Amino acid sequence: MSGPLALSLSTLDSPQDSPLGPLSVVTDADGCLRALDFADFMPRCRTLLSRHYGAEGVGWTLQAGRCPAAIADAFTAYFAGDLHALNGLPVATGGTAFQREVWAALRRIPVGTTTSYGALAAAIGRPAAVRAVGLANGANPIGIVVPCHRVVGSTGKLTGYAGGVMRKAWLIAHEWPAQAAPANGLPAAPGTGAQHPRATGPGG
């Protein structure tokens, strides 16, 4: 019988790595991302890991480690303006087959665009499963890389985001040059216009 899944926790905390605040990075022995969240939301991250792999210490363990260079370099590049730098990072998740289907669809949303929960449900061939898609989106354990921040309400309104709506607005602004940069003390993202990101379905 195999033991618990051994996971490593590191932090990206320089302004170059994460201008929105420190990021908690959870990886496995192969260097795959298992979870990624803002450090002030680490309790949520642990809750999701337990839902996916069982109780901590039984289904999984978490030890302090070093962030893989490929992940650190990708985030530095992404926040410096290379908006496709995160696309190739390997991820591995637990969750249900339906959740993994939704999370895979999130990675197909083109950078610089947004989509709605309804469009995301239609894109995976389940147009009636809008609520379930929303719940799966909210249970995404790998923020930013699996870009749940690109999903907005049907009217274009920014809906809830685990890291906070202001961070969601900043990320969308960073990825969409015409999006107005958020205020309230957060670092200014590129762009000064007021145009809202166009809404598209994944891959569209």
Catalytic center residues: 148
Domains and CATH numbers, the chain: 5-79 (no CATH), 97-175 (1.10.10.10)
pLDDT in tens, the chain (204 residues): 578 999 999 999 988 889 999 999 999 999 999 999 999 999 999 999 999 999 999 999 999 999 999 999 999 999 999 999 999 999 999 999 999 999 999 999 999 999 999 999 999 999 999 999 999 999 999 999 999 999 998 878 887 777 888 999 999 999 986 344 444 344 444 433 333 444 333 333
Phi/psi for 142 (5° steps) reads -120, 85
Q: Collect contacts of 158-166 with beta carbons under 8 A, ≥24 apart.
A: 162/37, 162/41, 162/44, 162/138, 163/20, 163/37, 163/38, 163/41, 164/38
